[in-house]
Amino acid sequence: MASAGLLLPATLGQHLQLRELVEYHVDLGEANVGHKAVTLIHAMLAGRGSIDAADVLQVRATQTVLGHAVLAPSTLGTFLRSLTFGHVRPLDAVGREALRRAWAAGQGPGDRDLTRDLDFTICETYGVLKQEVDFAYTKVRGYHPLPASRADSGEVLHSRLRGGSAITQRGAAGFVRETFARVREAGATGQLTMRADSGFCSGRVLRTRRQAGVRFSVTARMNPSLQKVIAAIPRRPGAPSRATGTFGVDENGQPISEADVAEVP
């Protein structure tokens, strides 16, 4: 078979009944929606970056091992073009239920603390006809999605696709709220912590975090007003005011080796 490493994710997908989940939630008025969706998923897991390249799954006994019908690239292209904005939420429901089932099977944090990392990324695209494709601040044409991942495993908990020119904070508060609800629904009962960079340091995001009772660690951009507030914090006897180590890089790409520390009630 081609790409024998697909055995593990294919087996997992069968246990989670991923194909059946797609069939249940996504209505396109056509047959084999689940088979088409998991064919695309397995093609991407095999490292294929285009629809035509998905035909690697049609090699020899691959279809038998994967446990679903492998559709031809032309059929997959028709399937993708039939999806509309109205199918975003049904597809999101598939991911939400798949996460709940996976965690119920033993992969969830249970009552342990869960740290969730919020970030953004830029997905470069080619061609100018794709919807919402635009240039980001990096001068790269593409999409600007928000992913949220689990800190201890790198597992993607939620994601939201946005246009390429979207600023980091666009839709962040609603995305944060949905992610908190998603992990609670999936069975996480312990303390939640959110980590994010300065792009997510906004009043709306932090209010959403506070309403959900979630701890947070968010980088704040330094400005004169913030420096004045920090300077006014009284130092406690014996408490260090500076910490050394590695704290990422600055705007010039140079390592940051010191950070101001303040302990407040």
Specify whether the CB–CB gap between 38 and 74 falls below 8 A: no
Is 250 domain-assigned? Answer: no
Average pLDDT of the residues of the chain: 85
Specify whether the CB–CB gap between 58 and 70 falls below 8 A: yes
Listed in order, strand segments (DSSP E) in the chain are 114-118, 123-124, 134-135, 141-143, 146-150, 156-160, 192-196, 215-218, 242-244, 258-260
Same domain, 157 and 83: no
Same domain, 92 and 125: no
Could you tell me whether strands 215-218 and 242-244 are parallel, antiparallel, or unpaired per DSSP bridges?
A: unpaired
Burial class (CB in 10 A: 0-12, 13-18, 19+), 197: middle
Same domain, 118 and 171: yes
Same domain, 97 and 75: yes
Q: What is the mean pLDDT of residues 218-224?
A: 82
Is 230 domain-assigned? Answer: no
Specify the amino acid at residue 26. V
Same domain, 132 and 158: yes
Is 257 domain-assigned? Answer: no
Q: Please say if the pLDDT value at position 197 is more than 80.
A: yes
Is 252 domain-assigned? Answer: no
Q: What is the mean pLDDT of residues 182-197?
A: 93
A 10 A CB-CB count for 37 gives 24
Q: How far apart are CA 23 and CA 31, in angstroms?
A: 9
**CATH code of the domain in which 200 resides:** 3.30.420.10
The tens digit of pLDDT for each residue in 98-137 reads 999 999 999 999 999 999 998 888 888 887 778 778 887 7
Domains contained in the chain, number: 2
- Tell which of 107, 124, 158 closes a domain: 107
Nearest to 13 by CA among 117, 129, 94, 120: 94
Model confidence at 50, in pLDDT bands (50, 70, 90)? Answer: confident
Tell me which of 129 and 251 has the higher pLDDT.
129
Q: Please tell me the predicted confidence (pLDDT) of residue 98.
A: 96
Same domain, 17 and 98: yes
Could you tell me whether strands 215-218 and 192-196 are parallel, antiparallel, or unpaired per DSSP bridges?
A: parallel
Domain extent, residue 43, equals 1-107
CB-based contacts of 199-204 (< 8 A; 24+ apart in sequence): 199/120, 199/167, 199/168, 199/169, 200/118, 200/168, 200/169, 200/172, 200/176, 202/169, 202/172, 202/173, 204/169, 204/172, 204/173
Specify the amino acid at residue 16. L
Tell me which of 1 and 72 has the higher pLDDT.
72
Over the Cα atoms of the chain, what is R_g? 22
Is 60 domain-assigned? Answer: yes
Same domain, 150 and 48: no
- Tell which of 107, 131, 152 closes a domain: 107
Q: What is the mean pLDDT of residues 51-78?
A: 87
Q: Please say if the pLDDT value at position 247 is more than 60.
A: no
Q: What is the mean pLDDT of residues 203-215?
A: 89
Is 229 domain-assigned? Answer: no
Is 251 domain-assigned? Answer: no
Q: Please say if the pLDDT value at position 202 is more than 80.
A: yes
Same domain, 182 and 84: no
- Tell which of 69, 85, 107 closes a domain: 107
Specify whether the CB–CB gap between 167 and 88 falls below 8 A: no
Is 80 domain-assigned? Answer: yes
DSSP state of 130: S
